[in-house]
Amino acid sequence: MWSERLVALLSDPTVITVSLGAMLLGFTAGALGTFAVLRRQSLLGDAMSHAALPGVVGGYLLVGARSLPAMLTGALITGLLAALLAVALTKLRIKSEAALGAALGSGFALGVVLLSYVQRLPGAGGAGLEIFLFGQAAATLRSDLVVIGTLALASLGLVLLLFERLKLVTFDPLFARAGGVRVDFYQALLTGLLALVIVIGLQLVGVVLMSALVVAPAVAARQLSRSLAAMFWLAGLSGAFSATVGALLSAAVPGLATGPTVVVVASFVTVAALLFTRGRGLRVEGA
C-alpha cells in the first residue's frame, strides 16, 4: 500500500516540479548561507526576507495585477534597501544587531500595512498575496522552475568563480584590504546574492521562514566541516535534503504546508548535527 502510494506520489508532475524547485532552492540557500553565518550576519537574511513583503505588494500595486516578475523585482529592491538601511544605521554607531532588527521590523510592518490596504481594494481579494507570508509550493510552475534553476546556477557559479577572494574577505577583511582587494565590493556582492536567493524562495517558503532555510543548513554544516569549501558543499547538501524531504512530506500529508515543513526538517538536521558533534563541532579553517 505504502509502496503504491509512494510511486503515485513520485510520478505526480506537480510533486516532481515542487521537489526539484525545493532542492535547487535549498542547495543555493544553504551554500550562500555559509558566508552569512561566518560573517556573523545571519540576521541580515531575516531582515531582507521580511523587508521583501512591501516590495511584493508594491509590485502588485504598480502593475495592477498579480505579476510574479514585478512582485519579485519589488521584493529584491526592498530587501536590498533594508540591507542598506542597516548599514547606514551601523555607521551612526548603532550596533549591527539593533540596526538589522530595526530594518526587519520596519520593513515587515510596512508590508503588512500595504497588504491590508490592498486586500480592501475591489478585485484584489483574490490576488493571493498573503501566500508570500508562508509560501505556497503548489503554485510553482515549470516556468518558475526554469527561473529558479537559472538564478541558482548563476549564483553558485559566480561564487565558485570568486571563491578564493570571497574566502579571504570573509575570514580576514583587513588583510584583504591591505592587499588591494575591493572588500566592500565583494561584501556587497555576497549581500546581493543572498537577497536574490531569498527572493526566488519567497513563493515556496515565504518571507517569514525563508531566513531559516539560509541559516539552519550552514549552522549544521559548520559542526561537521574543517574548511570553508567543505562547509559550503555540506550546507548546500543539507539545504537540498531538508527542502526535498519537506516538500515530499507536505505532498504526502494533505493540508501540510510546504514552507514550515521544510524549515522543521532543516531544524531537525541542525539539532542532530549539534547533538552528534562534540562541543560546538569542528572548527572551520580559512583554507
Q: Closest by alpha carbon to 222, among 35, 96, 92, 6?
A: 35
Question: Is residue 281 within 8 Å of residue 274, measured between CB atoms?
Answer: yes
Whether residue 287 has pLDDT greater than 80: no
Question: Virtual CA dihedral for 55, 201, 143, 123, nearest 10 degrees?
Answer: -40
**Is residue 21 one of the residues assigned to a domain?**
yes
What does the DSSP 8-state code read for residue 283?
P
d(CA 151, CA 138): 20
Question: Is residue 232 within 8 Å of residue 31, measured between CB atoms?
Answer: yes
CA distances for 193 relative to 36, 262, 284, angstroms: 11, 21, 22
Query: Which SS3 state, helix, strand or coil, does residue 281 take?
Result: coil
What residues are paired with 227 via a beta bridge?
A: 285
**Is residue 117 one of the residues assigned to a domain?**
yes
**Is residue 285 one of the residues assigned to a domain?**
no
Higher pLDDT, 235 or 281: 235
Q: What is the largest CA-CA distance in the chain?
A: 65
**Is residue 214 one of the residues assigned to a domain?**
yes
Predicted confidence band at 187 (pLDDT cuts at 50, 70, 90)? confident
Q: Closest by alpha carbon to 262, among 17, 25, 6?
A: 25
**Is residue 96 one of the residues assigned to a domain?**
yes
**Is residue 281 one of the residues assigned to a domain?**
no
Tell me which residue has cell 513583503: 53
Q: Domain limits at 65?
A: 2-134+141-275
Predicted confidence band at 4 (pLDDT cuts at 50, 70, 90)? low
**Is residue 283 one of the residues assigned to a domain?**
no
Whether residue 275 has pLDDT greater than 80: yes
Predicted confidence band at 209 (pLDDT cuts at 50, 70, 90)? confident
Looking at 45-49, 129-133, 155-159, 175-179, which range is the least confident one?
Answer: 129-133
Q: What is the mean pLDDT of the chain?
A: 81
pLDDT at 277: 75
User: Is the torsion defined by CA of 131, 135, 136, 142 positive or negative?
Assistant: positive
Q: How many domains in the chain? A: 1
pLDDT at 242: 92
The reported pTM is 0.83
pLDDT at 286: 47
- What integer is the mean pLDDT of 12-29? 85
pLDDT digits (tens, 9 = 90+) for 231-267: 999 999 999 999 999 888 887 877 777 888 888 999 9
Predicted confidence band at 112 (pLDDT cuts at 50, 70, 90)? confident
**Is residue 280 one of the residues assigned to a domain?**
no
pLDDT at 28: 92
pLDDT digits (tens, 9 = 90+) for 56-92: 888 888 887 777 778 888 888 988 888 888 777 777 7
In CATH, what number is assigned to the domain containing residue 88? 1.10.3470.10
